Amino acid sequence: MAFVELEQRGHVGLITINRPEVLNALNIQILRELDQILDQVESNEDIFVLVLTGAGRSFVAGADISEMANFSASDAKTFSHHGSNVLLRMTRFPRPIIAAVNGYALGGGCELAMGCDIRIGSDKAKFGMPEVGLGITPGFGGTQRLARIVGMSTATELVLTSRIIDAQEALQIGLINHLYPADEMLDRAVALANVIASKPQVAVRQSKQAIRIGTQIDISSAIAFESEAFGLCFSTEDQKDAMRAFLNKEKMTAFKNR
């Protein structure tokens, strides 16, 4: 891998976009490598939660304009499909993904963060969708995810004005869950990942899927999916052990994840 690294810390996988000389700008190779990293994680049953961050002073400062500048309309559509498919895979990935946004998260970088399940920002993070100012629309699902996260009116303003916001405003509008000093942010993200990794993973993964699928379908179908997930959990050893411990006023110290 030239630009994407995977480090395993216990049950947490730390993915780092490492192209700091261009602020980790997304190109086709990074998207391919990110997809390959997800393949690696999927085959590694010992990684329960992922944390995604960037090297240096940027998370991802957008897609690589030097690569895009001479795209034809057909090239651009292909690039959009490729990036969108990788982000959709992240959204549908069975294991939770936390974005640890250490710096610039603009355009494709903001879209990448929004493709994760939880977003944490450092006090040096900047967010924005500057594409309209470059004569294009967001291309990796930004118009759809931003509206779902912060609401249609706020999303429309941010996209149409290309305004860059700081981490405090991102926290206020619900784009990030937590805001920490830059020197603490990654440790805090990993700590949160470890909390999730300590829970019974069948329930974690079913809950993620119920939340994600439920935002895409009508509520009756979503509740039906949740009922299936709820029932499935009752076939696990973890459910039996956890409820037995609760009734006996005992504390669960470890789960079997089955």
* Candidates 5, 33, 42, 131; catalytic one: 131
State yes or no: is 250 an active-site residue: no
Q: Which of 231, 258, 61, 100 is nearest to 178 (CA)?
A: 100
Inter-residue contact 35 to 72 (CB < 8 Å): no
From 5, 7, 45, 111, active-site residue:
111
Residue type, 1: M
User: 18-53 burial, b if ≥16 CB within 10 A, otherwise e?
Assistant: bbeebbbbbbeebbebbeebbeebeeeeebbbbbbb
Per-position b or e across 101-122, b if 16+ CB within 10 A of its CB:
bbbbbbbbbbbbbbbbbbbbbb
Residue 66 and residue 81: Cα distance in Å, rounded? 19
Place of tokens 């959990």: 233
CA distance 3 to 199: 31
Residue 131 bears catalytic tag: yes
Where does residue 59 rank: exposed (0-12), middle (13-18), buried (19+ CB within 10 A)? buried
Q: State the pairing for strand pair 164-166/126-128.
A: antiparallel
E-strand stretches of the chain: 4-9, 12-17, 49-54, 58-60, 97-101, 104-106, 118-122, 126-128, 164-166, 178-180
Residues known to be catalytic: 111, 131
